Chain A
Amino acid sequence: MGANGTNEAFVAFDRVQKSYDGETLVVKDLNLAIAKGEFLTMLGPSGSGKTTCLMMLAGFETATNGEILLDGKPINSVPPHKRGIGMVFQNYALFPHMTVAENLSFPLEVRKIGKSDREAKVKRALEMVQMGDFGGRRPAQLSGGQQQRVALARALVFEPELVLMDEPLGALDKQLREHMQFEIKHIADSLGITVVYVTHDQTEALTMSDRVAVFEDGRIQQLAPPDQLYEAPENSFVAQFIGENNSLEGVVEQINNKVAVVRLDSGDLIDTIPVNVSQVGERTRVSIRPERVEFIKDRLSPDAHTLKAEVLEFVYMGDIFRTRLRVAGKDDFIIKSRNAPDQVRLKPGQTIEIGWMPEDCRALDA
């Protein structure tokens, strides 16, 4: 696509809608542009429409309305096998009656690539996922992780420019999953391919992606790089869904373009950054990340807001301590502190003062 210029999207969803039954929309007005070489993750709870979007892109579902463009060309009427998109399925979908090598050879055979070429490509793809010795095995003789690698190699062996992955690591155990996350990312980067990745695991999304599209209710709630998504959620759904989050409810008392003063339901006043609020009297949900909360007076900056809190529970988690507090009448306020030599271990029943920097406190929609 280089000739067309870099600012034109490689994959584009243009006002795409999808309905299965003609009564409810599963995907509502989706607009999304994916750049060439980008690793984009569609993240969302089940039923949010992310998989439907992926299937429309792959060609297994048709968009009810709107246009999907691949490399500038509309592909709504192109059948799946002509789209040239690689795909890794949730349960791998390795053909059980073929060996690993035959599985990899399949996309090359249907493309009528010569035998020697085929063998070379299969060998290279298997070596790329460190499965070079397993060509003669059947999928059933492989472990889950090995099957996953083969599925990946099969999706890549015919050198597609775009690869779709539908929760490919869902069936693996935690350790293997974390390992494969890096491996997939590394392979995608080294090949320079565009990846659209679907998952409901937010850690996976944050670790792997260039950008994450958070889906909920058939819409993209926020589309941003992982750090922005985590540190600057644009609405309370994203704030809640990505990472751990403390939310306090209240009403806006004063507002200017930089600061909104919110009176919490408990009566306390706090300073926040207005994100989704615009006028006095509006109800809001204030979001603070647990690791941005400080409880030792010396470490708090002078202009930090403080609130009274009662320690309810202290959990030792190794690298961090997780403490549950009662704050402003709510007893699910969490703080996380690093396990450092000078760190204080709070005890249940203790009463402390907590505080944070105003810029860490975002006033979102109620």
Chain B
Amino acid sequence: MSDTTDAAGRIISADGRPLKSSLNRALRREKLRALALIAPLLIFVLITFIAPIADMLFRSVENDIVSNTMPRTVASLRDWDSTSGEVPGAGVFESAYFDLAVAAQKKLHSQLGTRLNYELTGMSSMFRRTGRRMDDVGEVYMDQFAALDQAWESPEVWAAMIGDADWLASEKAWAKAQNPGTPPPAFEVKEGAQAALPLTAALYKDFAAYLRLNDGDSPTQEEPWPVFYAALYTDLINRPDAATAFSGADAQRLQTSAAAVTNFEAVDYKAAFVKADDGWGQVNTWATIKAFSPKYTPGYFLNAVDMQKTPQGISAQPESQQIYILLFKRTLFLSLTIMFSCIALGYPVAWLLANLPARSANLLLILVLLPFWTSLLVRTSAWKVLLQQQGVINDTLVWIGLVNDTDRLVLINNQFGTIVAMTHILLPFMILPLYSVMKTIPPSYLRAAKSLGATNWTAFWRVYFPQSVPGIGAGSILVFILSIGYYITPELVGGTTGTFISNRIAYHISSSLNWGLAAALGTILLVVVLALYWAYDRIVGIDNVKLGG
């Protein structure tokens, strides 16, 4: 009765629905239940693990600090040919002035300097030095405007001239209320002011937004930035009839000023920049800014593989600065060495564990797990005590007479120290999967092989070993992946020749604060691990990995 079919040949269940949809309906509840069970962990992992890692990895290509901090400069540099061998024209310097003056007020210029310093040494100090000089340039105009009309020094005048009337009213009400905690109302530009004084209005808008966000202060009370005067000068030179867009005192004042600015003493921005720092007069500086002006950059990744992005294209780093390829190679080599040491030391122990009677096996298993009960730092420090030149091992060797007291062995702060300490620390991760796999190999296989005429070695190598390979695979993957990202032990016992790439990543995260490079290095490490995992799957087959059973 149940295998009746409908017109399309699908099997119909007892209630007349197609069997497939009946089954799906029946399974949906189960699937939802399963999803609900893993949901808390899934959300936890997404929020605390996946999202931060994704964000971190994104930093390896993110580069919007240049275009965010110097938008006008980036725009005007677009037409400049960095291979021309000539410093860009006055227009670029003017844009750079307005960008940097604002950045200096917001204290963003030193961050930009630090970022560009990764690409060209000296940029950091150049930006800091220049940032300090930016106000001087603005003050040249400020003094001239103030001499013309005292009102130009008043914050209220600026606010009333550029701000919208409604905004000004609510701003005043807010200032009167003296209500700390509530932010001032959002700034709005007066109709017409934007078109008449574009640069000044844009900068003022920036100023109001910055004050509102950072200090909670009102633009009506803060002294205007000196850069406004330079902007006003530029706007009035470009649009002498700007006053027509305003009314009352503002129009009057602008009218007078527009007439006067043609006689003002103008600032040579280029000269001012070069005076602040010679670097601005060099093509390389501008080429670097131009090269790193896009929002995304391969620069961090190039750095991570000892290359660099120069205005002339991609090239290798100078030999003295090549370090990361070496570190990657060393990390792989040391991790493989540690992995093979763990196999060599762990295999016999796991064999013994699997073949001893339960009582002794349990005792031995506790000994294997004993290291987990002591802190990682304690274990690593113990190796320091053992391996150092005045340490236990050297003392013993000297005492026996194998080693001369004057040339004691260097066993620590090198690769040897890292291999010894990490093999010791990661050994349980090899023994446990091996043990659980070996436990499932019945002793009758070995007996069968021997009864068929195989020597002990042949029986082991042809019959037992192939069946323990899944355990070796699982243990190797565990040990290798753990060691490739290991940080604390190489840091403590690795010296200079025994450190891993992770030590460098940690350095960039916490000391040099070059997070982009750290993220690029981390991404490469992740890709290498995934590639090795893929290769393992292709060669051995991931189905062959067993953690037990």
Contact = CB atoms under 8 A, between A and B. Distances in A.
**A, B assembled together:** yes
Interface of A: 58-60, 79-87, 89-91, 93-97, 106-107, 110-111, 154-155, 158, 164
Given A93-B442, A93-B445, A110 B467 contact: no
A107 B448 CA distance: 10
17 contacts: A58-B451, A81-B450, A81-B454, A83-B451, A89-B444, A89-B448, A91-B444, A93-B444, A93-B445, A93-B447, A94-B448, A95-B449, A95-B467, A97-B466, A106-B452, A107-B452, A158-B453
Interface of B: 442, 444-445, 447-456, 458-459, 462-463, 466-467
B452 A154 contact: yes
A96 B451 contact: no
Contacts of A106: 449, 452, 454, 462-463
Contacts of B449: 95, 106
A150 to B, nearest CB: 12
Nearest to B444: A93
Contacts of B450: 59-60, 79-81
A82 B442 CA distance: 22
Contacts of B466: 97
Given A106-B449, A106-B462, A81 B455 contact: yes
B451 A80 contact: yes
Given A93-B448, A96-B467, A106-B462, A84 B453 contact: yes
A149 to B, nearest CB: 16
Find the residue from A58, A80, A154, A155 having the highest chain B CB count within 10 A: A80
B463 A95 contact: yes
Contact of A111 (B453, B456, B462): B453
A85 B444 contact: no
A155 B442 CA distance: 18
Given A80-B451, A89-B444, A95-B445, 17 more contacts: A59-B450, A79-B450, A79-B456, A82-B453, A86-B452, A87-B447, A87-B451, A89-B447, A93-B445, A93-B448, A95-B448, A95-B467, A107-B452, A107-B453, A110-B454, A155-B451, A158-B452
Contacts of A79: 450, 456
Nearest to A104: B452
Contacts of B456: 79, 81
A98 to B, nearest CB: 8
Contacts of A81: 450-456, 459
A89 B462 CA distance: 19
Contacts, number: 69
Contacts of B447: 58, 60, 80, 87, 89, 93
A110 B451 contact: no
A93 to B, nearest CB: 4
B47 to A, nearest CB: 44
B445 to A, nearest CB: 5
Contacts of B467: 95-97
B317 to A, nearest CB: 49
A354 to B, nearest CB: 50
A154 B459 CA distance: 15
A79 B451 CA distance: 9
A144 to B, nearest CB: 16
Contacts of B463: 95, 106
A147 to B, nearest CB: 13
A110 B455 contact: yes
A95 B460 CA distance: 12
Most interface-central of A79, A81, A107, A155 (chain B CB within 10 A): A81
Contacts of B445: 93, 95
Contacts of B448: 87, 89, 93-95
A79 B445 CA distance: 16
B549 to A, nearest CB: 14
Contacts of A82: 453
A89 B445 CA distance: 9
A55 to B, nearest CB: 9
Contact of B453 (A60, A94, A95, A110): A110
A154 B442 CA distance: 18
A112 to B, nearest CB: 10
A59 B450 CA distance: 9
Contacts of B453: 81-82, 84, 107, 110-111, 158
A166 to B, nearest CB: 9
The 7 A-B residue pairs whose C-beta atoms are closest, nearest first, are A107-B452, A93-B448, A87-B451, A93-B444, A80-B450, A97-B466, A110-B454
Interface centre among A58, A84, A95 (most CB of B within 10 A): A95
B393 to A, nearest CB: 40
A170 to B, nearest CB: 13
For B442, B451, B454, B458, which residue has the most chain A Cβ atoms within 10 angstroms?
B451
A6 B470 CA distance: 52
Contacts of B462: 106
Contact of A85 (B442, B451, B458, B459): B451
A87 B444 CA distance: 11
A87 B450 CA distance: 10
Contacts of B458: 110
Nearest to B462: A106
A68 to B, nearest CB: 15
B542 to A, nearest CB: 17
Nearest to B465: A97
A25 to B, nearest CB: 20
A91 B442 contact: yes
Nearest to B451: A87
A23 to B, nearest CB: 16
B290 to A, nearest CB: 62
A111 B451 CA distance: 12
B358 to A, nearest CB: 15
Nearest to B464: A95
A86 B454 contact: no
Contacts of A164: 451
A95 B467 CA distance: 9
A82 B467 CA distance: 24
B450 to A, nearest CB: 4
A154 B456 CA distance: 19
B492 to A, nearest CB: 42
Nearest to B447: A60
A80 B443 CA distance: 14
Nearest to B454: A110
A220 B444 CA distance: 26
A91 B445 CA distance: 10
